[in-house]
Amino acid sequence: MSSVESHQEQLSQSDPSPSPNSCSSFELIDMDVGSSYEPVSSHWFYCKIIDSKEMWIPFNSDDSQQLEEAHGSGKDCNERVVPTEGGRYDVHLGERTRYAVYWDEPPSEVRRCTWFYKGDKDNKYVPYSESFSQVLEETYMLAVTLDEWKKKLESPNREIIVLHNPKLMVHYQPVAGSDEWGSTSTEQGRPRSVKRGVENIPVDIHCGEPLQIDHLVFVVHGIGPACDLRFRSIVQCVNDFRSVSLNLLQTHFKKAQENQQIGRVEFLPVNWHSPLHSTGVDIDLQRITLPSINRLRHFTNDTILDVFFYNSPTYCQTIVDTVASEMNRIYTLFLQRNPDFKGGVSIAGHSLGSLILFDILTNQKDSFGDIDSEKGSLRTVEDQGDVPTLEEDLKKLQLSEFFTVFEKEKVDKEALALCTERDLQEMGIPLGPRKKILNHFRTRKNSMGVNRPSTSASEVNVPKENGDYLDVGIGQVSVKYPRLNYKPEIFFAFGSPIGMFLTVRGLRRIDPNYKFPTCKGFFNIYHPFDPVAYRIEPMVVPEVDFEPMLIPHHKGRKRMHLELREGLTRMSMDLKNNLLGSLRMAWKSFTRAPYPALQASETAEETEAEPESSSEKSSEVNPEETPVEVKEERPINVGMLNGGQRIDYVLQEKPIESFNEYLFALQSHLCYWESEDTVLLVLKEIYQTQGIFLDQPLQ
């Protein structure tokens, strides 16, 4: 103790009270010097590693209050487990550790914080340990009670804290170094400000989330482990998506919240990339990867190859099993932790994740029985009505004489559709009738709900060892698609390549009567500059050219630059139409001049009729010059994939993005996590199923 006291005496001699000029580097607290002692209020923090740096983040006010109540509940408080952040994390008080509930994440340290000091570089305040904070509080209490200041304390890290007065408390970090005799230097580093109580530090403490959960949404990521330009994981991106939704509920569903009609929507991430790359495939790829451009090749193996993995039967099975089993596991765990949950479930996928969900949904069953639905896959969708028999088909082809041949060989329509030209030749069918029969069944097969080449191997049902048949569906690789333990209400696709993959698989058209067996809604949401996104509606209605639905801005109306662009376009069209009308009238006047023999009465009648005829012709000629809005006024039937509603929804680009669409292409594919317009559309469609609408409809 004597060495510490002598060291403190040296500090007191070498560190005089700071001058008024030196006080400007510290943040002062407005306190009455003669005030009586009041216990410090505590707040709970957790430590998060961001870019290899420790960041102490406060719990929201409700969670901190629950932790404080559990901490002071009694002797068994160390055995308490407190759910925080909407039930997504559990805090074990005894361990002072925070664990993720629904996904894998390293545990983080938890602290009950009362005293803080300013950090080195980012100027953010760092909490002292709980034990040393208690020492600081006791010293502060004595100083206030006895009015004796300039107290010095040494932290476990041999750092010096000086309590000059209630307004000024500093933290000195000794400069590392020693002389040749081994004695440490007494030179101190730059002093840092010390604060007592969380209310005296600049930190944002949010309110807690509503306890009531109205709806559950599973979010599946696309290729690679990173989901945005900041290389954040799906968990972090979904956290942003959830935060935006909570803010929009307060601004756009304020009446429903005040009437306690709604709580919140829970978004939970589903990760399939880590299980896929933990199968040992990365080791196999590393053996064959060239050593040059190492970072680019690593990025390719870890990200872009996920697309090829999904087109491989082996790894596609791993991916769909992981996605379905994870959603089923999380759903079961969610119901266990929220036994009062009565809401529905929806799913959302970004990029390749939307294609995975689309394939899983098309291979679901419409009931929980053992019989597959007739609408369970796009391949089986046919036109409604009476199906002609084989004899009637041959009669239409004027080939009735060959019906006895097929009847003798016990060949029905299904068997004939599988016959090749060689099979027909072996049955004795001549060349001409063979070509007619093959062309008829090829045309009929392409006129079904899914039009694709008749030679596609994906149309064949692959037999399994147990005797069951595996529905290959719409060109997916031969895998067995697992069943979900729930029926999703809505499927949201963000920046989705579903349309492109269906086309590459040979799918030309989606039957307007087709719908998912277990899901009622489908929204294809994309940014206009997204290079990965494709439309769906032209595959349902290929003969009609129409624009996608424009998603309203979350603040209402269109963005100003879009309105300006439309206004200029409309103005130029009006000027063009007026100019063409004037030129037509001038040309007609010029062509009538060489005929003076016309009677005056006829001329008068013509001049009266000309404005009407010119106006009629101007409305009939050049139909492409009419504004696009006229087309949008007509109702468009886009099929039952979204219950008769529109499917394609496009975001409005920002003004800066409209300058160069190529420059913002990659960013456009990753913009959905923080897009208020996207989140608001999701919330609007979810709550509409519950009869709850926006406070003010967006235009």
pTM: 0.71
Residue 151 has pLDDT above 90, yes or no: no
The pLDDT of residue 444: 61
Give one word for 28, left, alpha or beta, with left for phi > 0 and alpha for psi -120 to 50: beta
Contact assessment for residue 459 and residue 435, using Cβ atoms and an 8 Å cutoff: no
Q: What pLDDT is stored for residue 185 in this prediction?
A: 45
* Comma-separated ranges of CATH 3.40.50 domains in the chain: 213-364+481-555+639-690
- Residue partners of 83: CB distance under 8 A and separation at least 6: 89, 90, 91, 101, 337
> What's the pLDDT score for residue 538?
94
The residue-averaged pLDDT of 21-39 equals: 52
373 vs 37 pLDDT, higher one:
37
Burial class (CB in 10 A: 0-12, 13-18, 19+), 269: buried
Distance from C-alpha of 660 to C-alpha of 672, rounded to nearest angstrom: 19
CA distance 192 to 246: 37
Residue 354 annotated in active site: no
CB 518 within 8 A of CB 365: yes
Looking at the chain, the whole-number percentage of residues with pLDDT higher than 90 is 45
| CA-CA-CA-CA torsion sign (633, 635, 637, 643) | positive
Q: Phi/psi zone of residue 191: left (φ > 0), alpha (ψ -120 to 50 degrees), beta?
A: beta
Residue 535 has what pLDDT?
96
Instruction: Examine the pLDDT at 33 and tell me if it is beyond 60.
Output: no
The 10s digit of each residue's pLDDT in 452-477 is 333 333 333 333 433 333 333 455 66
Cβ partners under 8 Å of residue 366, min gap 6: 373, 375, 376, 517, 518
For range 133-138, the mean pLDDT: 92
Q: How far apart are alpha carbons 364 and 520 in whole angstroms?
A: 13
Residue ranges of the chain assigned to CATH 1.10.150.50: 399-446
User: What span, in angstroms and rounded, lies between the C-alpha atoms of 121 and 116?
Assistant: 15
State both tokens at 430: 């001549």
The H-or-E segment that residue 237 falls in is: helix 234-252
What is the rounded average pLDDT of the residues 538-545? 91
Closest to 352 (Cα-Cα) out of 498, 534, 480? 498
pLDDT at 35: 58
Which amino acid, residue 460? V
Higher-pLDDT residue of 126, 573 = 126
User: Of 10 and 558, which is predicted with more confidence?
Assistant: 558
Under 8 Å between Cβ of 658 and 561:
yes
423 SS3 class: helix
C-alpha 140/C-alpha 146 separation (Å) is 10
Which tokens in the block code for residue 410?
């016990």
pLDDT above 70 coverage of the chain, percent: 73
Place of tokens 């403190």: 8
* Averaged pLDDT, 679-685: 96
> What is the pLDDT averaged over residues 555-581?
61
Nearest to 553 by CA among 653, 638, 622, 486: 653
Residue 649 has pLDDT above 60, yes or no: yes
Q: Is 128 within 8 Å of 116 (Cβ atoms)? A: yes
Q: To the nearest whole number, what is the mean pLDDT of the chain? A: 79
Q: Which run of H or of E encompasses 551?
A: none
Q: Which of 351, 354, 377, 496 is catalytic?
A: 351
Q: What is the per-residue pLDDT across 258-310, written as a single tens digit (0 to 9) for each?
A: 999 999 999 999 999 999 988 888 899 999 999 999 999 998 999 999 999 99
Residue 626 has pLDDT above 90, yes or no: no
The CATH architecture annotation of domain 399-446 reads: Orthogonal Bundle (1.10)
The rounded Cα 185 to chain-centroid distance in angstroms is: 55
- The answer to whether 493 touches 523, Cβ cutoff 8 Å, is yes
Helix axis angle for 676-688 and 234-252, nearest 10°, is: 70
> What does the alpha-carbon distance between residue 444 and residue 365 come to, in Å, rounded to a whole number?
26
Is a pLDDT exceeding 60 seen at residue 21?
no
Query: What CATH class is the domain 213-364+481-555+639-690?
Result: alpha beta
Which of 144 and 369 is assigned the larger pLDDT?
A: 144
Instruction: Residue 137: count other Cβ atoms within 10 Å of its Cβ.
Output: 18
Q: Which stretch of 14-18, 76-80, 351-355, 538-542 has the lowest confidence by average pLDDT?
A: 14-18
User: Between these two residues, 580 and 164, which has the higher pLDDT value?
Assistant: 164
Partners of 525 in beta bridges: 494, 649
The residue count for the chain: 699
